Amino acid sequence: MPQRSPNHSIEYITKAVLSWFRMTDASTIVREVSDWNNDSWEAAMLICYTHGVSPLLAQRIAEKGWADCFSSAFVDYLNNQFDENTSRLNRMEKLIKKLEQRTPEGVSLLLLKGSFLIRHVYSHPGLRPMADIDMLIDAEAKEWLLRAADECGFMLYAQTDEGMTLIEKRYAPSMPAPQDGNYFSPAVGIPGERADAPISIDAHFRIKRTLRYTVYDITSLYQSQVNADYTGTSKRLLMAHLLLHAAQNYLSRCIRAIQIYDIALLSQQLTQSDWQFLHDYMNRHNYGHFCYAALFHASKTFTCGIRDEDIEGFACKRHFKRQLRQQNLFTLSSCNPRPLSIGDFLRWTQTPLDIWHLVIKQLADDRKQLVVFDTSKHQAMVRPARLVRLVGYLAERLKLCFASPQPRESFICFRQAGFTNEHVFDR
């Protein structure tokens, strides 16, 4: 593994990379990167890959004529990523069309998230990396999907009550599984999108996310507004799904810049009635502050033209708005090697009742089994074994809060490239 010596922290480089999406003065960029060494530029490549913005930045540099402002290796990497991603998404599009052709009458096949965005929102498919193909189908149609996928060279990999994952047969567990190294771009030798990277299908039976102590399910919203065309779901529903997905990623501290850009780009295509629907629905279900956070960071990171009234329409307390202005969202998301602590969850609470419910939810997923109702005595009774388990779990969580920093999964590609925890934050 190479010994890295970037002359700037990954936190600093992340801020710089994302600032280029709003910057208009090339001379400012030249001054900012004039002292970057090779390791700093390779860290910038990894940051672009981690946040899924390599193709977008390649397009922006080409449009602005900024290629001379950056390292030639960095520009070559971005252009390579655009080409590789375009080729990979062409493979995905062919697969989607094959499934469409095999869709029988009466079966709804709804594209979700990136799959829908690439077809109907982005100007070019190569601009948006996509890990897998997300779709919503009826649970009753899963046998049809398995047969259709089998004809296209895919097989079942995992299944739950909420959906199933299909993978290419050539990457089946009985064959040599693809390792991290398979995703390394041969053009530059560091992680990146590859045209021949494995494709998977995530078929969802339901669209739901757990935020704090509440499970939000918007499946019925989709099903109630499906048109004859399988892409007939409205963009307001797509925005609701993206905001819900972003909210869960905020809580797990794994938000990516491309997810915020999706929201920024889609916001330009919403009508006033769409915004009114979102304000009413999100506030009624008490997660308007998550929506506020996503739109706030979208407006601060990208030039998207979101109106202040569209952001302020989501209910959000004043102290929470102050927190949003103080924290560096993206660095803490994909580059932070520290484990998630209870404090990270409490940051997203709104009331003391939120805190109580949140702690109970996080400390014991089986909290409903902690107390049982004795029908003979007409009273609730605590199960001692469950109580011991809860106390033990609490102790483990508290130890985790004070544990030494450990690399998170999202930091793996940095570690593989020779960057360590000491390279993350400003020193």
pLDDT exceeds 80 at position 227: no
How would you class 86 by CB atoms within 10 Å of its CB: exposed for 0-12, middle for 13-18, buried for 19 or more?
middle
When the pLDDT of each residue in the chain is averaged and rounded to a whole number, the result is 78
Per-residue pLDDT tens digits for 335-394:
444 444 445 555 555 566 666 665 666 555 544 444 444 444 444 445 566 566 666 655
Higher pLDDT, 215 or 343: 215
Report, as an integer, the average pLDDT of 414-425. Answer: 71
Predicted pLDDT of residue 203: 94
By CB atoms closer than 10 A (0-12, 13-18, 19+), residue 158 is: exposed
Domain contains 89: no
Q: What is the pLDDT of residue 411?
A: 62
What is the 3 state secondary structure string of the chain?
CCCCCCCCCHHHHHHHHHHCCCCCCHHHHHHHHCCCCHHHHHHHHHHHHHHCCHHHHHHHHHHHCCHHHCCHHHHHHHHHHHHHHHHHHHHHHHHHHHHHHCCCCCCCCEECHHHHHHHHCCCCHHHCCCCCEEEECCHHHHHHHHHHHHHCCEEEEEEECCEEEEEEHHHCCCCCCCCHHHHECCCCCCECCCCCCCCEEEEECCCEEEECCEEEECHHHHHHCCCCCCCCCCHHHHHHHHHHHHHHHHHHCCCCHHHHHHHHHHHCCCCHHHHHHHHHHHHHCCCHHHHHHHHHHHHHHCCCCCCHHHHHCCCCCHHHHHHHHHCCHHHHHHCCCCCCCHHHHHCCCCCHHHHHHHHHHHHCCCHHHCEEEECCCCEEEECHHHHHHHHHHHHHHHHHHCCCCCCCHHHHHHHHCCCCHHHCCCC
Question: How far is residue 307's CA from residue 426's CA, in Å, rounded to a whole number?
Answer: 33
pTM for this one? 0.81
Q: Is the pLDDT of residue 286 over 90?
A: no
For residues 403 and 235, the model is more confident at: 235
Lowest mean pLDDT among 69-83, 233-247, 262-276: 233-247
Both tokens assigned to 178 = 């693809």
The vertex-328 CA angle with 183 and 279, nearest 5°, equals 95
- Whole-number percent of the chain with pLDDT over 90: 36
**Pairwise CA distance, residues 47 & 30, whole Å:** 19
Quickly count: other Cβ atoms within 10 Å of residue 423's Cβ: 23
Mean pLDDT of 192-199: 87
Tokens of 368: 């409903």
- Domain residues for the domain of 376 are 342-401
Tally of structural domains, the chain: 1
- pLDDT exceeds 60 at position 39: yes
Candidates 363, 365, 355, 345; CA nearest to 252 is 345
Question: Whole-angstrom Cα distance, residue 41 to residue 188?
Answer: 12
**What is the rounded distance in angstroms from the CA atom of residue 278 to the CA atom of residue 236?**
7
The answer to whether residues 350 and 320 touch, using CB atoms and an 8 Å cutoff, is yes
In a domain, 170, yes or no: no
Give the model's confidence band at 16: pLDDT under 50 very low, under 70 low, under 90 confident, else very high.
Answer: very high
Please write the tens of the pLDDT for every residue from 108-162: 888 899 999 999 999 998 999 998 999 998 888 989 999 999 999 999 988 888 8
Q: Of 110, 101, 108, whose CA–CA distance to 151 is shortest?
A: 101
* pLDDT score for 76: 96
Say how far apart CA 320 and CA 312 lie, in whole Å.
13
Identity of the amino acid at 242: L
Mean per-residue pLDDT for 280-293? 86
Per-residue pLDDT, 94: 94
Residues contacting 245, CB < 8 A, separation 6+: 113, 209, 259
Q: What's the rounded mean pLDDT across residues 30-52?
A: 92
389, part of any domain: yes
